Amino acid sequence: MARYFGTDGIRGVALKELTVETAYRIGRYIGQYPDGKGNRILISRDTRESGEALLRALCEGIVASGGRVYDEGISTTPSVSYLVETLHFDYGIMISASHNPYADNGIKLFESSGEKLSEQIEEKIEDYIDSPSDYLPKKEGQYLFSPSLKQRYVDWLISKYEGKTPVKVVLDCANGSASYVAPELFARLGIEAKLLSCAPDGRNINAGCGSTHLDNLSKAMESGEFDIGFAFDGDADRCLAIDRSGRVIDGDAAIFLGALSLRGKGLLSQGKVVITVMSNFGLRKALQEEGIGYEIVSVGDKYVQAKLKEDGLSIGGEQSGHVIFASDLNTGDGLLTALRILGIYASEKSVYAKLSDLKVYPQTLVNIRFNSRKEALDALNSDQVKEQIRSAESALSSSGRLLVRTSGTEPLVRVMAECLDEELCQRQVNGIVAKIKESKECVE
């Protein structure tokens, strides 16, 4: 059986790897309901030009299985999670490839709790996608265009803002989902905002902008006119920030600030947070110095969320900007993260000042792209590569750390090292990258 789902749903080149036929089959499966009544399903998409065709196929599949599908229009991934949980939908669907280029697209599925779909249901969907016949009975469902649902999400975000002093911000919307939510949100909060990359055309999502390209935001902040700037990714489930001093606030820094703020209010459950293997070593040290514990999980916000739920913890996330405030939402929300950071900046000055205690260890990260995720996995199985990794681990053991892994969402091998000695870091990473490229033909 083919494996379609990665760590964040299904992704691939739109209409080639991720086809309308696959989308239709997914809709057919989740549109049916064991007792014969149709599921209530919420669906949304980001701004990619391929999103409309995939949405149409999903909706046709749902309706053909007797499901009732509510189309929120273009919105954010976390809006789907929030609305599914609070309005008691049976499933939620988001069509997005997050921070990937416009040519890619993806399908993320949520259960009625607002959490990412369980692996058990993913496997059942994969079985159905691969089945030689469309064996599910056909019924007549209903499609409803429901853009007003988005307002409930915006209202909820507004209720979460705790800032008490006037601020001016920059918003880089990545020509993605945030373009349809952030301007209204900040206008209704009365916060003056300069908008960047807020004119999506179907192909410019994440193109030299957003959370993976901070140059535009950095230049805007150099003017000195603004207190803080925020950059979102294509579906606005992650957020990075730059303050007026030029300091970059990534997911690690947001977790650190959020944990301190929650602890000050007596809301940091068990005095611990959840971080991932990619979190900077400096975050671990800063948390230890503050007496805050941490649990480490694999990369992927679904693993962060699972650990938060398992241990009953309050906050966790990834360096990339996925931050989950568990008492608010079951998934990362870039806009909520921005409001939390901004609230601390505006009204908890003593907490914000502690950012200077977070000393980031220099990190060297190289991504090596292959034609497929299988080729990326095969590259790491070379004896030469394994030996080079062992050598690098030995060289860094006393002063840093090494992490070599495949991406859960793209055909990439990521080679990362952290060490106070930047030259040592670079040398060890370069050695591993060279061996990987010798062992397997890569794209770049």
Catalytic residues: 98
Alpha-carbon distances of 113 from 74, 134, 206, 256, 328, rounded to whole Å: 22, 29, 29, 27, 12
The Cα 248–Cα 355 span in angstroms is: 11
Round to whole Å and give the CA distance between 192 and 282.
33
Q: Which uninterrupted H or E stretch holds 2?
A: none
Closest CA to 110 of 244, 29, 9, 248: 9
Query: Exposed (0-12), middle (13-18) or buried (19+): which is 197, by Cβ within 10 Å?
Result: buried
Helix, strand, or coil (residue 115): coil
Under DSSP, the state recorded for 397 is: T
Quote the CA–CA distance of 122 and 111 in Å, as a whole number: 11
- Interhelix angle for 383-396 vs 422-439, to 10°? 170
Give dist(CA 366, CA 379) in Å, integer. Answer: 15
Give the Å distances, CA to CA, from 426 to 326, 392, 423, 432, 444: 37, 11, 5, 10, 18
